Structures are given as structure tokens and as C-alpha cells.
Structure 1
Amino acid sequence: MTHRTTPTARICPNCDGFATAAITTGSRDQHGHLQTITANCRACDGTGTVPGRRVREAARV
């Protein structure tokens, strides 16, 4: 008997699935640790995936 498989998540083409990056500011705090900020992909809002085609087409109408 065959099993139904769930479709794989669509990876965001702008970030290739790496939706959040830690970027160092180059400065250090008083304890000597590097200060970092996080940057999220603007296209997928930091999720790494994009909605299916049907959802996007329905949003355009």
C-alpha cells in the first residue's frame, strides 16, 4: 500500500533557506565579547520558506 507524502517546503529563492544571519558589528563589550546583530531575509520574513504557488496567485487577484 502506498503512503501519501507531504510536499516539501518551498525554499525562499532570495536566501536559499538561510533566513537569518548573525552579523558582527566589529566592536566588543566590556567583557570582551563580540557584539552581533541578527538580520532576517526581507522576502520570507525570516522563515526560509515561501508560500505555495496557489496562495501567492490568490493574493494577486
Structure 2
Amino acid sequence: MAHHSSPSPRICPACDGFASVAVTLGGRDHRGHLRTVTAHCPACHGTGTARRRNREGACA
């Protein structure tokens, strides 16, 4: 009996799978925590995987 594995997810070519990052703004808040902003990859919207296209060329 053959073992069927699911296909591996396609990694986004724009971010190489690192879809979200935390960027420090410099300085700290009144509690001493670093101020950060989360930035997401605009190509995959923070998922890290590329979407497959159907025949019409629209995102699936």
C-alpha cells in the first residue's frame, strides 16, 4: 500500500515564508516595553504561502 502525503504548501516568493515581522519604533513605553509595529507581506497577506491560480488567472 502506497503512502500518500499531502503536497507541501507553496512558499510565497516575495517573503520566502517569513510573512510577518515586528519592527521596533525605537524607545520604550512608560512600562519599559519596546514599541513595535507588525508588518505583513503585501503579496501573501501574512500567510507565508503562495496562492494557486485557476485557469482564468484569478486567485483561488
| TM-score greater than 0.5 by the shorter chain | yes
Gaps of 5+ in 2: none
Identity rate, percent: 53
The 5 Å alignment of 1:1-61 reads 1-52=1-52, 56-60=53-57
Gaps of 5+ in 1: none
User: When the two structures are superposed, what TM-score results if normalisation uses the length of structure 1?
Assistant: 0.84
RMSD over aligned Cα, in angstroms?
Answer: 1.5
Q: Which is richer in helix?
A: 1
Cα deviation per residue 1:14-57 (whole Å; 9 max; x = unaligned)? 100000000000021111111001000000000000123xxx14
CA pair 10-41 structure 1, distance change in 2 beyond 3 A: same
User: When the two structures are superposed, what TM-score results if normalisation uses the length of structure 2?
Assistant: 0.85
Q: Which runs of 4+ in 1 moved over 6 A?
A: none
